[in-house]
Amino acid sequence: MRPFIYIHPQNEKEAFTAALATENSKYLGGGTNLLDLMKEDVERPSQLVEIADLNFNKISEHESGGYTIGAMLSNADTANHQKIRENYPLLSMAMLSAATAQIRNMATNGGNLLQRTRCPYFFETSMPCNKREPGTGCGALNGMNSQHAIFGWNEKCIAVNPSDMCVALAALDAKVLVQKPEGDSRTIDFKNFHRLPEDKPELDNSLEPNELITAIELPEPMFSDHYDYLKIRERSSYAFALISVAAGLQIKDGSIAKAGLAMGGVAHKPWKLTASEEFLTGKKPTSENFKKAAELAMKDARPLSDNSYKIEIGIKAIERALTQAFERKA
């Protein structure tokens, strides 16, 4: 590892002051991704600001019926929280499918949103990668790309976002609360938090320099009865998704009042299936409609040389997730 400054502030003010004082500073949450990448020489921050002691570790209910979950709460404590299990079982299920118990104990909610891609070209500093080193090219494009994107990619970057939690948050229409070092705060709609590679594949999200995620806001619970997180992977735990689907349905009077649908492992960001959600709204929860929604979701997929299987499995996975969500016995 390269030498770096380590700061352990006791409050927000100290944290922001420290972050602003040193160029190329990063906040340290659980460190399950950042420290790994520093050991690999991929991330090279000159300073780490430990934010463990800042007061962002609560889960609270709003008057409107939604919840706010703190950015510094661990993935394990969030997923296992009684209120989250009751009201957002889709989120809990997605989070518990991720990584290992040990990693979930360390990883924070804010950190999960900032997880970097697992693209092997990103991890190996001797290979070209526009995300790690802009301008060097994308090694995966004409290399090994079976794990890569089928939506939203361009020749600059074909990497996928690895998070499970974020797929559920996309389906749930969450919001991300962010604080600027100068003191202002802002709210970012989840669908706008992560970005597509476009001409800046080095940027995974829309955070400004030194902005800090403080919380995630969840709207009023809608999918607590009908939900499913389906994760297709090479082994039963501790494997990133080849493809995953988060599906939530609100059923009223035998029809779908609201649908939340997103996919993981298919794009540079959690891929919200807006057209399928709109298609399902107001329809009957039949296998025929689920199939149509799935086909609609995959209509614009653009596979790479090694990953057309993602379309094949993707259609089946969306159908299956919707069916299992509908048939779930609360």
Partner 1 sequence: MGIGNAIDRVEGHLKVTGKAKYSSEFQIENKVYAQAITSTIAKGEIISVDTSEAEKQKGVLAIITYKNAEKLKTSDKKLPVLDVDSIQPVLQSPNIHYYGEYIGLVVAETFEQAQYAARLVKFEYKKETPKINFKNHREDAYRPKEESDYSRGNVEEGLAEADVKLEMTYNTPIEHHHPMELHAIIATWENGKVKAYASQQMIDNAAKTIAKTFQISKENVRVISPYVGGGFGSKLAAKQHVILAIMAAKKVGRPIQLTVTRNQMFTNTNLRQYNEQKMRIGAKKNGTLTALSHETLSHTSTYEEFQESCGAVTKMLYKVPNNLVTHRLVPTNLQTPFAMRAPGEATGSFALECAMDELAWKLKMDPIDFRIKNDTQTDLSNDKPFSSRLLKECLRIGAEKFGWKERNMEPATKTNGNWLIGYGVSGASRGAPYQKTSSKVILERKNQTVYATIQMDATDIGTGSYTIIAQTASEYLKIPVEQINVELGDSLFPVTPGSGGSWGAASFANGARMACLNAIKELKKKLNVGENEEISVEKLLTDNKLDKFEAEGTAEPSEEFEKHSVYSFGANFCEVWVDKDTGMYRIKKMVNVGACGKILNPKTSFGQIIGGLTMGAGMALAEQTRVEPNFGNFITRSFADYHVPVNLDMANIEVIFLPEEDKIANAMGVKGVGELGITSVAASIANAIFNATGKRMRDLPITPEKLIMAKKEIGVA
Residues within the interface to partner 1 (CB under 8 A): 1-3, 41, 118, 120-121, 123-124, 126-127, 139, 142-144, 146, 230, 232-240, 242, 308-310, 312-313, 316-317, 319-320
Q: Which of 102, 80, 106 lies closest to 93 in space, CA to CA?
A: 80
DSSP-assigned letter for residue 74? B
Q: Which is nearer to partner 1, 215 or 242 (CB)?
A: 242
Gap between the Cα atoms of 18 and 156, Å rounded:
34
> Least distance in Å: CB of 237 to partner 1?
5
Q: Which is nearer to partner 1, 203 or 313 (CB)?
A: 313
Q: Which is nearer to partner 1, 195 or 328 (CB)?
A: 328
> Least distance in Å: CB of 96 to partner 1?
13
CA atoms within 13 A on the CB side of 316: 8
> Least distance in Å: CB of 97 to partner 1?
11
Q: Which is nearer to partner 1, 89 or 139 (CB)?
A: 139
Q: What are the tokens at 10?
A: 């006791």
Q: Which is nearer to partner 1, 145 or 179 (CB)?
A: 145
Q: Which of 293, 315, 311, 295 lies closest to 149 in space, CA to CA?
A: 311
Ramachandran assignment for 312, one of left (phi > 0), alpha (psi -120 to 50 degrees), beta (any other): alpha
> Least distance in Å: CB of 50 to partner 1?
19
CB 130 within 8 A of CB 202: yes
Q: Which H or E run includes 47?
A: strand 47-50
How much helix, strand and coil, in percent to the nearest 5, is found in the chain? 30, 20, 50
> Least distance in Å: CB of 12 to partner 1?
31
> Least distance in Å: CB of 250 to partner 1?
25
Q: Which is nearer to partner 1, 277 or 319 (CB)?
A: 319
Residue 154: strand pairing partners: 157
CB 308 within 8 A of CB 149: no
Distance from CA of residue 3 to its chain's centroid? 30
